[in-house]
Amino acid sequence: MHFHPNVRNYLFFTIVVFFLLDNLLKNIFSFNYGYVIGIGVLTLISLSSFISMKKHKNFFVLLFAVLIASLQSIFFYLNNNFLPDGFFETYYLLVLSPFFIFLAISTYNNKDLYHLLSLLSNTFYISLFGSLLYYFYILGFINYDLSYFLSPEKTRSFGEIVIRNNSIYGGSLAAGGILFMQLLLSVFLYDKTDNSKYVLWVYILFFLILTTMSRRVIIPATLLLTYMVFFRYRKFNLKHSVFIFIALILFSYFYIDYLEVLILRYLGAFDFFGHDVSNLSRLNAIQHGFISGIYNPFGTGLGSASSIGKEVNSIHDSIGFIGVAESFYMTIFAELGVFFSFIFIILLLKFTQSLDRTTKLIFLFPLLLESVMGLSLLNPASNLFFYISLFSSFYIFRNEEYYASKKSAP
């Protein structure tokens, strides 16, 4: 079976929407199969592309990564006679899903790729509507009981307490990761299409990221926006940046402590000396993840150092500490061990060599920074969104190079 690119694009869009609305579907309709449907459809459309795709070096790099992760898992099982809780979910999310996405869009031309990314960018409206609904509800403008899927989440920073933006995604960290991926995609589409609507979307998404109070995405998002305003894009200038200032003032009118706490959150991101307890607990978890990867050179098993596939009351692991590694790098390092992690680093460097400067700047570098103390790639919706965007950008550049070489050929 071979799907037409437009059909695949709408299937991709449907998968992403199912993933984004997973929390909503579970709490309102008791529908627990959003991820299952998404995984099934993604597997189907990727396998349908396998036969017709042209195999090239990056296909074999990713295939080798799949084989290495599989070998590590087999080795772990043979030595321990069990697989960690959440193994199968983690294996699909971090190993098979990126490979399947790479396969699914491998036969696309640039027109198909831009159509796909344009569809995905429209999920901006889901995040915007979800955030407005969330704040209208907790500020008392909606009289219906929506607490079963819109419950306020509070944070404390240097003694100040404010409500974090969960949107409809069930938590501020999940919301922050999803908004961050949508921000990166909007920047990329502006870079490629020069469509001014993406300028507005970037500012709105950045503002929504600030309301999540999630420092792990606020810092890379701020650095990217600063670069855009001062160094790269003509329409991202100081005059347009007034939008952010006005939006913050309007929001602080409803919640007066917001600006103060936001500044404290920025400062708290660099407080490693005991004033910010959450930073210390995060650093402690990262340290345990690093030690686990050293003392278990062949890994503690996929799923052992994260919350994937686990209930809240069973988030524990077999490597000596409660919780998660609180860093994507340390999660992978602990689960794969120093030996297999070293191989993956080599494969990652090999793959990034084929990425163009724009892709590295907009997608890779911000995500690498977020992953130091962030876990966005461990969220199914953020993970899917990121890899579709990254690989689409990769193929767009590859197609442009191919057509350029054809034109220049004698």
Q: Which of 61, 70, 77 is nearest to 92 (CA)?
A: 70
Burial of 44 (0-12, 13-18, 19+ CB in 10 A): middle
Whole-number Å distance between alpha carbons of 382 and 405 = 35
Mean pLDDT, each 10-residue run in order, the chain (410 residues):
76 89 79 77 79 68 87 89 86 89 86 93 94 86 79 68 82 90 93 86 88 85 83 62 64 59 63 57 74 86 78 48 68 88 86 85 88 81 91 85 52
The alpha carbon of 22 is separated from its chain's Cα centroid by a whole number of angstroms, namely: 15
Whether 409 and 144 have beta carbons less than 8 Å apart is answered as no
**How do residues 345-372 score in pLDDT, each as one tens digit?**
888 888 888 888 888 888 888 888 888 7
* Confidence at residue 128, expressed as pLDDT on a 0 to 100 scale: 94
Q: What is the pLDDT of residue 119?
A: 94
Model confidence, pTM: 0.87
Q: What's the confidence (pLDDT) of residue 258?
A: 63
Per the DSSP assignment, residues forming a β-bridge with 338 are none
Give the pLDDT score at 185.
95
Say what the pLDDT of residue 320 is.
44
| Whole-number pLDDT of residue 123 | 95
Contact between 349 and 63 (Cβ < 8 Å): no
Q: Count each helix (H run) and each strand (E run) in the chain, helices first.
A: 18, 2
Nearest to 187 by CA among 172, 176, 200: 200
Category of 142 on φ-ψ map: left (φ > 0), alpha (ψ -120 to 50) or beta = beta
Q: What is the pLDDT of residue 400?
A: 73
**In this predicted model, what pLDDT tens digit does every residue of 375-403 receive, in sequence order?**
788 888 999 999 999 999 988 887 776 55
Task: Report the pLDDT value the prediction gives residue 321, as an integer from 0 to 100.
Answer: 45
